[in-house]
Amino acid sequence: MSELATAVFADRHAAGRALGARLHSFAGEEPVVLGLARGGVPVAYEVAQQLRAPLDVLVVRKIGAPGNPEYGIGAVAEGDVRVLNWDAVRGLLVSADELETAIRQARAEIDVRVQRYRGARRPREVRGRTAIVVDDGLATGGTARAALRAVRARDPRRLVLAIPVGAPDSVEPLRAEADDVGVPVRAGDAMGSRPLV
């Protein structure tokens, strides 16, 4: 979890319980909760428990910059979804070959993680249902954007992004990707200063 998240919540489970309390209005919609592997899964577990909803894992992977894999230049998600930060790609002078290599490495990691987390089981069906995508926090928003696009392609009736804490500059652009975006704690704000949706 980010430093802000750990300053506000004891751990991911506490963050999930607080987030689940804010999401109670979705319980009547028989939602499916999708936790981003890995950090979002403990948060999503608590949300699913409170909503009495089924839980599944959604695997998304950051595309690291060549020579600096911690710096994300994009993200890939299940379902062959990719999102690139073209400003970062151009700013770092990433060649087409370097970019394709980084994407290929991220996709290979997704395959490994899907096998680890889900095995042969198919992803839980979200078509025609409310899908709640949960992560443990939001920094740049790249992985969340890839996750939302992957779930949107599976045709949910309603798509919700729920995270316990996030930077406003990263949260606002994601409103174009989801039907509802909920962040109880924004970076720089006091806890609970913003309604969930």
CATH of the domain at 94: 3.30.1310
In a domain, residue 165? The reply is: yes
Cα torsion angle, 192, 18, 26, 138, sign: positive
**Hey, CA dihedral for 77, 93, 2, 20, is it positive or negative?**
negative
In a domain, 194, yes or no: no
Residue 182 has what pLDDT? Answer: 84
Whether residue 129 lies inside any domain: the answer is: yes
* pLDDT digit string (tens) for the chain, length 197 residues: 444 444 578 889 899 999 999 999 999 999 999 999 888 999 999 999 999 999 999 999 999 999 888 888 999 999 889 999 999 999 999 999 999 999 999 999 999 999 999 888 999 999 999 999 999 988 788 899 999 999 999 999 999 999 998 888 888 899 999 999 988 765 555 334 333 33
User: Which residue reads 């680890």 in tokens?
Assistant: 116
Residue 161 lies in a domain: yes
Q: Identify whether residues 159 and 174 lie together within a single domain.
A: yes
**Which residues lie closer than 8 Å to 76 by C-beta, 6 or more apart?**
60, 61, 63, 82, 83, 103, 106, 107, 110, 146
Q: Is the peptide bond before 175 cis (omega within 30 degrees of 0)?
A: no
Whether 21 and 104 map to the same domain: the answer is no
82 belongs to a structural domain? yes
One domain, residues 42 and 66: no
Backbone angles phi, psi at 50, to 5 degrees: -70, -35
Domains held by the chain: number:
2
Q: Are residues 114 and 29 in the same domain?
A: no
133 and 53 together in one domain: yes
Buried b (16+ CB within 10 A) or exposed e, 8-19: bbeebebbbbbb
For residue 173, the enclosing domain spans 3-59+120-186
Residue 8 shares a structural domain with residue 40: yes
Residue 192 belongs to a domain = no
Strands 68-77, 81-84: pairing is antiparallel
Q: What are phi and psi of 192, to 5 degrees?
A: 80, 15
Q: Are residues 111 and 66 in the same domain?
A: yes
Residues 52 and 141 in one domain: yes
In a domain, 195, yes or no: no
CA 24 to chain centre: 19
Is residue 154 within 8 A of residue 55, CB to CB? The reply is no
